[in-house]
Structure 1
Amino acid sequence: MASTTKPTIVLVHGAWHGSWCWKFLIPALEDLGYAVETVDLPCVSGVAGTTQFDDAAHVRSVVESQISMGKRVVVLAHSYGGPIASAAIRGLSEKGVLGMIALCAYIFPGGMDQAAVIRDLGGLPFVTWDAPSEGLLLAKDPRSLFFPPDVPEDRIDWAVSQLRPQSMAANMGIVPPQAWQDDSYIGRLGYIRCTDDVIIPIAQQDSMVAEAGGKEKWVIRTLEGSSHSPFLSRPHDVAATVQDIVNDFETKL
């Protein structure tokens, strides 16, 4: 039976970003009656060597804190944050986590060696390695990667000024065990497709979802014409889509 109390939405940002990126989405979610919690991942703290395991542990601590207060949780994860959120909620499907929503996010299997995958791809042409110091990396041209075609110029200027170096170890390491690979979350996994995403093209989004179980596991919704950053360009559309998916999750209980 669906609960009459809306879950808390825990927001997990992507690489180079921080909790600042949700500035416009938070009030849109709150207008719909959701409480919101944010995290700042260790990978963007400027400390080289932080890994996905560090990031997942931090998110899990926030989720467990909410659960300890008797709150139910839905985790909304963007981009790099997808595997982080999925690792963080592992084993919590019957302990207070209603589900996870991936917003144009990566879906990787647990145990995947990202360094090996990157080597097989011949590197990542859109990043600068060991910058601004050893063990950190930067996006070469974030303006052309994260925001076209629909983020307003003034918001792009603001967002670019907020981006921070990312730990290379977080992008080159082993993916932690993933909750989406457990049957316990079937039907309580959501994916929001962004059709005009530059950094994770729609074909790649669809391929990852298909390989992760497709419609049998995931509640799939689409933001037509959206960039990689709909929380900046279309926060009210994102909030409404999150609510739609959460309502779907509730029917699976």
Structure 2
Amino acid sequence: MSNLPTLVFIPGSWHQPTCYNKVTKLLQDQHKLKCVLVTLPSTEGNPAATFKDDLDAARGAISSETTLGRDVIVLAHSYGGIVGNSAIKGFAQPPRAVTASQTQPSTDGHVIGLILIASGSTLTGLAFMDPLFGHPPPSWRINSETGFAELVASPREFFYHDLPDEEAEFWVSQLTTQSLKALFESGEYTYTGWKDVPVWYLGTLEDRGFPVLVQRMQVGMAREMGGSVEHRELPTSHSPFLSQPEATVSIILEAVQAFTGKAGENKVHDRGKAIVAPKATLWQPATWFRFGLPLTFGRIIGRCIVIYSWGRRLVRSR
């Protein structure tokens, strides 16, 4: 098919986009999907690099495709999720209703979907660290002298514990620095892109950096706040694109089919027993605790945010 969407890949903190190489090779060679890799300025050794710099890099990659009339699917991992969500602003398909001011249809492409891997649900106006009240988790610390976030946890255990030792050490050697500014500042540029396009969320069951229960809560929260989120999980570390690239590709292809309504070269084969579609079912009590409770708790958080936002707007309108 000649009109397949372009996939724009955004990595997480400390990571180069080459971490996606296994997945992009399969997608390009076997499924004829164009893949564009984004390098985040905040991971290039400059402590002055900001979230806005990362955002501009992602938006530039998207724009380079949409201006050629190509639709785009954004795929983002971990911290890259807040970049990917925010980069969608203004690129989603506008409502079908045509206003009087629209005289000619646009020839540009649009962002038609978002795939998040072990990431959070971005909220407009909040920087990456704002939900944690500016306190870093135990896995990394603030180095005010260098301006970088420094890993305290073993990178191998944190990111790649399910990879063979030699391969894990190679990927550890590929990790870069991560500027603090990108994590703590520029909340005015963040955006809830997951409200503008359908989302597929890939959770990581054995994640030692971002617990899967928190991931499920994020999914529940987004759904309660109006997001259209399809949910899948793999029994992997924080980096499923390295430890289970074939299964990751199967989920990506499912998402592409859902976003486009087309199969073609993207036809999904047997996705394997490793892939789980989280759902609480009445006749399986264990699923009530594994999936039902965290998803429900996430919905409660989402409802509280909606009520708070509504009340805040009401007070400001008076």
TM-score by length of 1: 0.88
Offset at residue 110 of structure 1 (A): 1.6
Structure 2 runs not aligned, ≥5 long? 94-108, 263-318
Aligned with 2:164 (options 152, 170, 178) = 152
Offset at residue 138 of structure 1 (A): 2.0
Q: Secondary structure at the match of 1:43?
A: helix
Equivalent in the alignment of 2:203: 193
Residue identity opposite 1:7 in structure 2 = P
Matches within 5 A, 1:126-165: 126-130=139-143, 134-140=146-152, 141-148=154-161, 150-165=162-177
Offset at residue 169 of structure 1 (A): 0.9
Matches within 5 A, 1:208-219: 208-213=218-223, 217-219=228-230
Of 107-116 and 79-88, deviating more is: 107-116
Equivalent in the alignment of 2:286: none
Structure 1 runs not aligned, ≥5 long? none
1:81 aligns with 2:80: yes
Equivalent in the alignment of 1:6: 4
Q: Secondary structure at the match of 1:63?
A: helix
Equivalent in the alignment of 1:26: 24
Q: CA RMSD in A?
A: 2.1
Residue identity opposite 1:143 in structure 2 = R
1:35 aligns with 2:48: no
1:178 aligns with 2:199: no
Offset at residue 117 of structure 1 (A): 4.0
Equivalent in the alignment of 2:122: 108
Offset at residue 116 of structure 1 (A): 4.8
| CA deviation map 1:214-248 (0-9, x unaligned) | 5951121221x111111111111111110101111
Residue identity opposite 2:111 in structure 1 = V
Q: Secondary structure at the match of 1:159?
A: helix
1:221 aligns with 2:232: yes
| CA deviation map 1:45-71 (0-9, x unaligned) | 111132222211110011000112222
Equivalent in the alignment of 2:296: none
Residue identity opposite 2:122 in structure 1 = F
Contact 1:180/1:189 (8 A) holds in 2: no
Contact 2:6/2:34 (8 A) holds in 1: yes
After superposition, the Cα gap between the structure-2 partners of 1:113 and 1:69, relative to the gap in structure 1 and judged at 3 Å, is closer
| CA deviation map 1:137-176 (0-9, x unaligned) | 221221111112x222222111000101100111112443
User: Could you say which structure has the greater relative contact order, defined with CA pairs below 8 angstroms and 6 or more residues apart?
Assistant: 1
Offset at residue 250 of structure 1 (A): 2.0
1:65 aligns with 2:79: no
Contact 1:147/1:156 (8 A) holds in 2: yes
Equivalent in the alignment of 1:47: 46
Offset at residue 115 of structure 1 (A): 4.7
Contact 2:194/2:227 (8 A) holds in 1: no
Q: Which has the larger radius of gyration?
A: 2
Contact 2:199/2:227 (8 A) holds in 1: no
Residue identity opposite 2:214 in structure 1 = Q
Contact 1:81/1:106 (8 A) holds in 2: no
Q: Count matched residues.
A: 243
Q: Secondary structure at the match of 1:23?
A: helix
Distance (whole Å) between structure 1 residues aligned to residue 127 and residue 69 of structure 2:
36
Offset at residue 128 of structure 1 (A): 3.2
Equivalent in the alignment of 2:295: none
Q: Secondary structure at the match of 1:61?
A: helix
Aligned with 1:232 (options 238, 242, 264) = 242
1:241 aligns with 2:251: yes
After superposition, the Cα gap between the structure-2 partners of 1:181 and 1:229, relative to the gap in structure 1 and judged at 3 Å, is closer
Distance (whole Å) between structure 2 residues aligned to residue 216 and residue 41 of structure 1:
26
After superposition, the Cα gap between the structure-2 partners of 1:113 and 1:14, relative to the gap in structure 1 and judged at 3 Å, is closer
After superposition, the Cα gap between the structure-2 partners of 1:139 and 1:55, relative to the gap in structure 1 and judged at 3 Å, is same
